[in-house]
Amino acid sequence: MSFPVFKGAGYLLAHTPDMIVRNGTTCSVERETHPDSEFLQNIGSHIRPYEEVVNYLPNQVYIGGARPEELANYDLPWYDKEYKGERNAKFGEIQPQDEFIATMKICDAFELVALTEEFVASVKEKFEANYPELSPFFSKLEGVNADEAKVFAEENHAEGIYHNGEFVGYVKRAHDVDVNLSAHTMFENLVVKASGVIAAIHMIRHSEVNAEDIDYVIECSEEACGDMNQRGGGNFAKSIAEMVGLVNASGSDTRGFCAAPAHAIMNAAALVKAGVHKNVMVVAGGASAKLGMNSRDHVKKDMPVLEDCVAGFAVLVSENDGIHPVIRTDMVGKHTVGTGSSPQAVISSLVADALKKGGLKITDVDTYSVEMQNPDITKPAGAGNVPEANYKMIGALAAMNGDIQKKELKAFMAEKGLPGWAPTQGHIPSGAPYVGFMIDDLTTGDKNRAMIVGKGSLFLGRMTNLFDGLSFVVERNDGNTGAGEAEAGVSKEEVRKIIAESIRKMAESMIEG
pLDDT value at position 505?
60
User: Can you say how many angstroms the Cα of residue 271 is from the centroid of all Cα atoms in its chain?
Assistant: 20
Q: In angstroms, how far apart are the furthest CA atoms of the chain?
A: 95
Window from 1-10, 55-64, 486-495 with minimum mean pLDDT: 486-495
Higher pLDDT, 486 or 422: 422
pLDDT value at position 1?
57
Contact 323, 349 (CB under 8 A): no
pLDDT value at position 372?
96
pLDDT at 241 over 80: yes
Q: How many residues does the chain have?
A: 513
pLDDT in tens, 296-340: 999 999 999 999 999 999 999 999 999 999 999 999 999 999 998
Round to whole Å and give the CA distance between 364 and 451: 10
Round to whole Å and give the CA distance between 436 and 68: 11
pLDDT at 190 over 80: yes
Establish how many alpha carbons lie within 13 A of residue 312's alpha carbon, considering only the half-sphere containing its beta carbon: 34
Round to whole Å and give the CA distance between 149 and 303: 36
CA-nearest of 278, 281, 287 to 240 is: 281
Q: Is the dihedral of CA 412, 414, 416, 420 positive or negative?
A: positive
Residue burial 450-488, b: 16+ Cβ < 10 Å; e: rest: bbbbbbbebeeeeeeebbbbbbbbbbbbeeebebbbeee
pLDDT at 489 over 60: no
Sheet holding 113-116, edge to edge: 143-144, 113-116, 166-171, 159-163
pLDDT more than 90, % of the chain: 88
pLDDT grade for 113, boundaries at 50, 70 and 90: very high
CA end-to-end distance (rounded Å), the chain: 37
Helix (H) or strand (E) holding 475, with range, is: strand 467-475
In 237-338, where do the E strands start and end?
A: 250-253, 279-284, 309-318, 326-334
Average pLDDT, the chain: 93
Residue burial 72-100, b: 16+ Cβ < 10 Å; e: rest: eeeeebbbeeebebebbbebbbbbbbbbb
Contact 246, 256 (CB under 8 A): no
pLDDT grade for 493, boundaries at 50, 70 and 90: low
pLDDT at 509 over 80: no
Cα angle, residue 409 at apex, residues 353 and 356 outer, rounded to 5°: 15
CA-nearest of 51, 318, 53 to 209 is: 318
Contact 327, 101 (CB under 8 A): no
CA-nearest of 56, 6, 109, 8 to 327 is: 6
pLDDT value at position 459?
86
DSSP state of 350: I
pLDDT value at position 360?
97
pLDDT grade for 399, boundaries at 50, 70 and 90: very high
Q: pTM above the 0.85 mark? A: yes
Contact 145, 117 (CB under 8 A): yes
Round to whole Å and give the CA distance between 156 and 170: 10
pLDDT at 424 over 70: yes
CA-nearest of 193, 356, 349 to 284 is: 193
pLDDT at 512 over 90: no
Contact 240, 193 (CB under 8 A): yes
pLDDT value at position 426?
84
DSSP string across 351-388: IIHHHHTTT--GGG-SEEE-B-B-HHHHTTTT---HHH
pLDDT value at position 483?
46
Window from 209-218, 372-381, 485-494 with minimum mean pLDDT: 485-494
pLDDT value at position 246?
98
Window from 22-26, 154-158, 205-209 with minimum mean pLDDT: 205-209
pLDDT value at position 343?
83
pLDDT grade for 447, boundaries at 50, 70 and 90: very high
Round to whole Å and give the CA distance between 236 and 179: 18
Window from 119-123, 207-211, 215-219, 273-277 with minimum mean pLDDT: 207-211
Round to whole Å and give the CA distance between 433 and 370: 9
How many other CB atoms sit within 10 Å of the CB of residue 400? Answer: 15
pLDDT in tens, 4-32: 999 999 999 999 999 999 999 999 999 99
Q: Is the dihedral of CA 435, 440, 446, 448 positive or negative?
A: positive
pLDDT grade for 85, boundaries at 50, 70 and 90: very high
474 by DSSP, 3-state: which? strand
Q: Average the pLDDT over 392-413 and give the result.
A: 95
Residue burial 339-355, b: 16+ Cβ < 10 Å; e: rest: beeeeeebbbbbbbbbb
pLDDT value at position 488?
41
Contact 160, 153 (CB under 8 A): yes
pLDDT in tens, 265-276: 999 999 999 999
pLDDT value at position 344?
87
Establish how many alpha carbons lie within 13 A of residue 43's alpha carbon, considering only the half-sphere containing its beta carbon: 30
Output the CA–CA distances (angstroms, integers) from residue 484 to 1, 2, 302, 351, 468, in the order listed: 7, 5, 55, 22, 28
Contact 229, 272 (CB under 8 A): no
Output the CA–CA distances (angstroms, integers) from residue 443 to 325, 340, 365, in the order listed: 7, 37, 15
pLDDT at 199 over 80: yes
pLDDT more than 70, % of the chain: 94
pLDDT at 418 over 90: yes
Bridge-based pairing of strands 449-457 and 367-369 is parallel
Annotation: CATH topology of 5-475 = Peroxisomal Thiolase; Chain A, domain 1 (3.40.47)
pLDDT at 62 over 60: yes
| Rg of the chain over all Cα atoms, to the nearest angstrom | 24
